[in-house]
Amino acid sequence: MAPDQVGAALRFPQGFRWGAATAAYQIEGAVQEDGRTPSIWDTFARTPGKVFHGHTGDVACDHYHRYRDDVALMAGLGVGTYRFSLAWPRIKPDGSGPVNGRGLDFYDRLVDELLAKGISPMATLYHWDLPQVLEDRGGWTNRDTAYYFADLAAAAVARLGDRVATWTTLNEPWCSAFLGYAAGVHAPGREDPTAAFQAVHHLLLGHGLAVRALRDGGAREVSLTLNLARVRPDDPADPHDLAAVHLIEGLHNRLWLDPVLRGAYPADMLALFRRFGADHVIRPGDDAIIAAPIDFLGVNYYQPARVRAALGVDGGPANPGTEGAEYVAQDLPVTAMDWPVDPSSFYELLMWLSDGYPGTPMMITENGAAYDDVLVGDRVADTDRVGFLDGHLRAVHQALAEGADVRGYLAWSLLDNYEWGYGYGKRFGIVHVDYDTQRRTLKDSARWYAAVIGRNGLD
């Protein structure tokens, strides 16, 4: 059914999936329980100077012990789909060897609890917490990691596949490769562009192998989640600015979308592999593995980008090979992350995807914002977040009305949580978490979102 508009009220298509998302290391805590071994984030967080105030995910939201309450919270909001991630070091503590049943038991309990409350589980296999033992053997620069990842997928679907219908292989591999191996601001904190390009290919190979393993295990719906960028030129009439856009947008979008949805890397991206001496990791036959069909594309969207051509600058360490292209400031309101807010760029991204990669349904697997929330008594009046979510949902609705095939929307995040390099300093939740007492408080945005879900639309 098509989306609808009655006066100012917007209705989403019938069956549109509403939900919320989280990730293992950001909420679980219990890092030493039931056989879990350290991940690269445990190591990185303990490396002085890497994370805000040296915060770690040791306790986080203590979701490992409080998952029942958190599921009840979601049920109260009317959340229909819950996207969470499985911690590799819980399931395979030595990365590649035997399955740790106790690690899987946790997800087993979580999934049962979700189903009992009528919430569909959506499991992400990799949200950045590679077992440290695998990083010690080269991490994603090592081709073996891709095969170990497929083994993880097989173990997970064997245990949970009878109840989990929807699977995602990787979350935002751009961040794993370029923030983790090139810019060094995410785990494992390496600053080596060659390693980053090796990681790109092995992440994609791992994705393709995992798709196969999931299908073999009977998975009903398989997807990949990317953080895609809508990059605008500073001057749309300047061909140099347009070339700069193409380059930056290539690293963020085409480098991932083309091999997965079109069967091959774009020529300009292949040239970057060669330039950084990483092309030898691409082997005959890999293309076909990576292009294994997926059922939908997960789209994570947070902020717009604007670039221009300029001599003697580049896109920074997270964008290797972008000499002559530079990010420029945008005159827009910003969130607590300093990320510019512009729903129209979200709409444009969805239309660009829909036009350029037709035939692949999309699901918004993350969208949300951090603001400096204040808890007063029992209330967080987070009007900015409500405005952000409302604006971005209107953008999704507009894209739907113009033909984009978007199947659902998951808010990031259910809970305030461990925001990677920013530690507990940034709050993205629609539910406030007091980290001293672990008390959860619905923010105004949570109540607002519950109403949106309830009426399948905006008023």
Judged by CB under 6 A, the residue of 64, 428, 448, 449 near ligand FCB is 428
Q: Nearest CA to 336 among 428, 415, 400, 199? A: 428
Interaction of residue 412 with ligand FCB, rule CB under 6 A:
yes
Interaction of residue 28 with ligand FCB, rule CB under 6 A:
no
Interaction of residue 129 with ligand FCB, rule CB under 6 A:
no
Helix, strand, or coil (residue 327):
strand
Q: How many residues bind ligand FCB (CB under 6 A)?
A: 12
Q: Could you count the other beta carbons within 10 Å of the beta carbon of residue 376?
A: 8
Two tokens, residue 446: 């949570």
User: Which one of the listed residues 28, 135, 172, 326 is annotated catalytic?
Assistant: 172
Interaction of residue 141 with ligand FCB, rule CB under 6 A:
no
Q: How far is the CB of 122 from ligand FCB (least distance, A)?
A: 14
Interaction of residue 227 with ligand FCB, rule CB under 6 A:
yes
Q: Which of residues 298-357 bind ligand FCB (CB under 6 A)?
A: 300
Interaction of residue 388 with ligand FCB, rule CB under 6 A:
no
Q: Nearest CA to 126 among 101, 109, 144, 148? A: 148
Q: Nearest CA to 298 among 173, 178, 385, 113? A: 173
User: Which one of the listed residues 135, 221, 249, 366 is annotated catalytic?
Assistant: 366
Q: How far is the CB of 22 from ligand FCB (least distance, A)?
A: 8
Contact of 302 with 340, CB cutoff 8 Å: no
Burial level of 331, CB count in 10 A (0-12/13-18/19+)? Answer: exposed
Q: Which is nearer to ligand FCB, 172 or 234 (CB)?
A: 172
Contact of 452 with 441, CB cutoff 8 Å: no
Helix, strand, or coil (residue 398):
helix
Q: How far is the CB of 431 from ligand FCB (least distance, A)?
A: 15
Q: Which of residues 29-88 bind ligand FCB (CB under 6 A)?
A: none
d(CA 86, CA 338): 29
d(CA 267, CA 245): 16
Q: Which stretch binds ligand FCB (CB under 6 A): 67-75, 144-152, 170-178, 305-313?
A: 170-178
Q: Which is nearer to ligand FCB, 83 or 232 (CB)?
A: 83
Two tokens, residue 101: 């049943």
Q: Which is nearer to ligand FCB, 278 or 297 (CB)?
A: 297
Q: How far is the CB of 174 from ligand FCB (least distance, A)?
A: 9
Q: Which is nearer to ligand FCB, 282 or 364 (CB)?
A: 364
Phi (first) and psi of residue 260, to 5 degrees: -80, -45
Q: Which is nearer to ligand FCB, 206 or 429 (CB)?
A: 429
Helix, strand, or coil (residue 276):
coil
Residues that are catalytic? 172, 366
